[in-house]
Chain A
Amino acid sequence: MTLDSKGRAMAIWLVGPVFLGVAAWLATSSTSAPIPLRPASDVPRESIRPGAWRTPLKHANEAKVNGAVRPCSECHRLFGTPPEENRTLIQHKDIVLAHGINKRCLNCHYGADRDKLVLHDGTLIDFNETPRLCSNCHGTVYRDWQMGVHGKTMGSWDASSGTQQRLACNECHDPHAPRYKPLEPLPGPETLRMGDQRREEEPSKQHAPLRRWSMPSHDEPSKEEPKKENPS
């Protein structure tokens, strides 16, 4: 084809209108592409507050029972404490005792003066010295707590700064029911274009050493293993 052919002229005539058509289409179509954003999950500040989980009783005369604030000894001068285990409380029923084998109130409370706690050797301590009492049975935990390995530290990582605060045992644990109650977990991740992340079936047993010979789960009826011969 030579440069002056008709076909070529037609082609060039086509160029302008086609471009204008494309321009019109681009100008009228949306100037943004869709991004599948999910609405943000709002986590209440209460759930993520820093610090101690409980405010423990620091002094005996701040004890609050049935709305009234009075020292423990005021009532307990009149009413004694039976020494047996597994008692059902008549007053301050909000105290639930679930401390493992520690089922006797007077293991920790001093019978003669309810404003004090009693250590294993009979020493009396105030309510604000509870770690000393816990350490009587939970020595290993207390050792770790002293190192800073167990429990919570607030304020500063630098012990020499003066603002470091080690939380006492009963600022996390309820002394009568120390085991934490299970919590409701906060929402899991919902990242961009995550896809369907539900896990339907059990993870495969391949490459999973323990799962291959897995112990019965807590949902199945438990089977007692046959007891091995006691060498002693």
Chain B
Amino acid sequence: MIAIARGYITFLIRCFRLSFVGPAPYYLWMLGLSIVALLGLNAYCKQFVQGMGVTGMTDQVSWGLYIANFAFLVGVAAAAATMVIPVYVYRNRELAHLVIFAHLFAVAAIIMALLFVVVDLGRPDRFHHMMLRFNFPISMLTWDVISLNGYLVLNLHICGYLIYCAYNRREPSKLFYIPFVFVAIAWAFGTQLVEAFLYCGLGGRPFWNSAVIAPRLVAAAFAAGPSILIIILQVIAAFTDYRVNEKAYLTLRNTARVAMCASMFLLASEAFTEFYTDSAHVASARYLFFGLDGKNALVPWIWTSITLNVTALVILFTPLTRNTRFLNIACAMIIVGVWIEKGMGLVIPAFVPTPLGEIVEYRPTLNEWLVCAGIGAFGLLIFTILVRVTVPVLSGRLAFDTPYVAPDAATPRVPEASEPTTRTA
């Protein structure tokens, strides 16, 4: 028993030490991220001391950039399932060893999302109140807390178990991760659903009080998630010795294609319902797309988002995207387009006009942007460390019986599907 614990602690310590070791670009990357994270921490300290007034939020627009980013990140975290479904449900064995990166990304994204919730609280020092009086099952925020933390634990377990088994050169036991994987797939959808229910259960906000919010969020997430994974996998292929199967990009592209179609279809459906009916409830949508009473700060954002999304969709359907450069352009467009659509395009317009008809526009402050950048940098920091540790383990260069072996620049090691050390499926 003690030996097992000792072994695990050794593993953790070695991982910790390994995260401070790497080639020069690694140090520069981590340095850059740390600086941004520190700036974010500094900005948050100012917010903690002075109150939420340092953000651009007001009584009229009481949720802003933090919740917008939260919505986006929960979505992309859930979209880790997009990688998992082809591998486990459709038994695509070629991509099996890449699944772990999807889970790792989900972990980082969920941590970022939880951090965004914490910085959005007016009294984070009272966080423990949630454990003392929990308005479950009536309040959707309580469902959200459970679903996010549960998803985090699930993903941590799945990738932790697989990595530790690889470290110990042991084949992972199916019982300890396959059921969790399937639960994680369902839980991913559940997370998005609960997130959407936060918004669509409020009768006082007609822009949100629509059944199409949940499908829209899922569709947009499943378009942005694979796009992010495509880029991440290319980065991993470029900067580590890990060779990524080209087929992964095409599988993810197919998911993004379908999801983006669904997302555009749902957007068209919502736009029609709002503008054809032309009732007074359309005010928020009118503000978003065309501006209201001379106030039109969000109009350029939403049209940029729609342009990016549609262009990306068109590009994705052409054979152009067999070329990685075009694929990357399309992915970048999708990521930006979906971020705008979920953030500025979903969270903010519901507050304009207010339920009493007042129009107050929202402009995030520099402090707010710094906190967001800081959390983003922190998430990337975590993800980089996770990948930094995972790649050597999967390649067999970090194992319980050998000291760390640096990658040899001359002959990059390619994991073979038949190698017992790296079998994860």
The docked-state distance in angstroms from the alpha carbon of A200 to that of B294 is: 10
Q: Across the two chains, which residue of chain B brings its CB closest to A8?
A: B24
Task: Check B315 for interface membership: any CB of A closer than 8 A.
Answer: no
Does A183 belong to the interface (CB within 8 Å)? no
Known: A22-B35, A31-B46. A191 touches B27 (CB 8 A): no
Q: Which of B1-56 contact A (CB under 8 A)?
A: 21-28, 31, 34-35, 38-39, 42-43, 46-47, 49-51, 53-54, 56
Among A5, A11, A194, the one with the most B-chain Cβ atoms within 10 Å of its Cβ is A11
Please determine whether B409 and A2 come into contact, CB atoms closer than 8 angstroms. Answer: yes
Give bound CA distance, A73 to B241, whole Å: 113
Within 8 Å by CB of B58, from A7, A19, A31, A193, lies: A193
Q: Is the CB of A32 within 8 A of B361?
A: no
Evaluate whether A193 and B360 lie within 8 angstroms (CB atoms) in the complex, with A18-B31, A33-B365, A33-B367 already known: yes
Pairwise interchain contact A11-B38, C-beta atoms closer than 8 A: no
Q: How far is the CA of A191 from the CA of B22 in the complex (A)?
A: 52
Who on chain B is nearest to A30 by CB? B46
Contact A194 B360 (CB under 8 A): yes
**Chain A CB within 8 A of B406 CB:** yes
> B59 an interface residue at 8 Å Cβ cutoff?
yes
Chain B contacts with A in 347-378, Cβ cutoff 8 A: 358, 360-361, 363, 365-367
Contacts of B27 in A (CB 8 A): 8, 11-12, 14-15
Contact A194 B24, beta carbon cutoff 8 Å? no
A197-231 interface mask toward B, CB cutoff 8 Å, 1 = contact, 0 = none? Answer: 10110000001000000000000000000000000
Task: Annotate B58-93 by CB proximity to A: 1 below 8 A, 0 otherwise.
Answer: 111000000000000000000000000000000000
- In the assembled complex, the CB of B66 is this many whole angstroms from the nearest CB of chain A, namely 15
Cα-based distance from A191 to B59 in the complex (angstroms): 8
Residue on A with the closest CB to B41? A26
Q: Which residues on the A side are within 8 Å of B21 (C-beta)?
A: 3
Q: Which residues of A contact B358 (CB under 8 A)?
A: 197
Which residues of A (129-158) have their CB < 8 Å from a CB of B? none
Residue A122 interfacial (CB < 8 Å): no
Q: A8, A15, A37, A193: which contacts B23 (Cβ < 8 A)?
A: A8
The answer for the CA separation of A191 and B359 in the assembled complex, in Å, is 12
Instruction: Give which listed residue, A31, A195, A200, contacts B361 with CB less than 8 A.
Output: A195
Set B31, B53, B59, B409: member contacting A35, Cβ < 8 A: B53
Asked if A7 and B59 sit within 8 Å, CB to CB, the answer is no
The answer to whether A2 touches B406, judged by C-beta atoms less than 8 angstroms apart, is: yes
Decide if B131 is an interface residue (CB 8 Å cutoff): no
Q: Looking at the complex, which one of B28, B360, B406 makes contact with A11 (CB distance below 8 Å)?
A: B28
Across-interface contacts of A15 in B (CB, < 8 A):
27, 31
- B-side interface size class: 35 or more
Q: Do the beta carbons of B361 and A7 come within 8 Å of each other?
A: no
Nearest CB on A from B276, distance (A): 15
Kindly supply a per-residue 1/0 record for chain A positions 20-40, scoring 1 wherever the CB is within 8 Å of any chain B CB and 0 otherwise.
001000100001111101000
Q: How far is the CA of A131 from the CA of B59 in the complex (A)?
A: 46
Instruction: Name the residue of chain B whose CB is nearest to the CB of A7.
Output: B24
Residues of A within 8 Å of B366, CB to CB, are 33
Q: Verify if B280 is at the interface (C-beta below 8 Å from A).
A: yes
CB distance from A28 to the nearest CB of B (A): 12
Given contacts A2-B409, A14-B27, A33-B365, contact A22 B38 (CB under 8 A): yes
A108 to chain B, nearest CB (A): 44
A6 to B: closest C-beta gap in Å: 9
Q: B residues within 8 A CB of A192? A: 53, 58-59
In the bound complex, how far is the Cα of B55 from the Cα of A34, in angstroms?
A: 9
Q: Which residues of B contact A2 (CB under 8 A)?
A: 406, 409
A1 within 8 Å of B by Cβ? yes
**A201 to B306, alpha carbons, bound, how many Å?**
31
A89 close to chain B: CB less than 8 A: no
What B residues does A32 contact at CB under 8 A?
46, 49-50
Contact residues in A for B279 (Cβ distance below 8 Å): 207
Residues of A within 8 A of B46 (CB): 31-33
B58 in contact with A1 (CB, 8 Å): no
Establish whether residues A7 and B360, one from each chain, have CB atoms under 8 Å apart when the complex forms: no
Q: Nearest Cβ distance between residue A208 and chain B, in whole angstroms? A: 9
A10 close to B (CB within 8 Å) = yes
Flag if B360 contacts A26 (CB, 8 Å).
Answer: no
Are A35 and B54 also in contact (CB < 8 A) when A5-B24, A14-B27, A15-B27 are? yes
Question: Cβ of A193: which chain B residues have Cβ within 8 Å of it?
Answer: 56, 58, 360, 363
CB neighbours (8 Å) of B54 from chain A are 33-35
User: How far, in whole Å, are A35 and B54 apart by their CA atoms in the complex?
Assistant: 6
Distance of B365 from chain A, by nearest CB (Å) = 7
Q: Which of A3, A14, A33 has the most CB of B within 10 A?
A: A33
- Contact code string B269-290 (vs A, CB < 8 Å = 1, else 0): 0000000000110000000000
B367 touches A191 (CB 8 A): no
Whole-angstrom distance between the Cβ of B18 and the nearest chain A Cβ: 11
Q: B416 to nearest A CB, angstroms?
A: 24
Between-chain CB contacts (< 8 Å), 13 pairs: A2-B409, A5-B24, A10-B24, A11-B25, A14-B28, A15-B27, A15-B31, A26-B38, A33-B54, A35-B54, A37-B53, A193-B56, A195-B295
15 more A-B residue pairs beyond the given contacts A33-B47, A199-B293, with a C-beta to C-beta distance below 8 A: A1-B409, A5-B23, A8-B22, A11-B31, A15-B27, A18-B31, A26-B38, A32-B49, A35-B50, A191-B58, A192-B59, A193-B56, A193-B363, A200-B294, A207-B279
What 5 pairs across the A-B complex have the smallest Cβ distances?
A11-B27, A33-B54, A7-B24, A11-B24, A35-B53
Chain B interface (Cβ < 8 Å from any Cβ of A): 21-28, 31, 34-35, 38-39, 42-43, 46-47, 49-51, 53-54, 56, 58-60, 279-280, 293-295, 358, 360-361, 363, 365-367, 406, 409
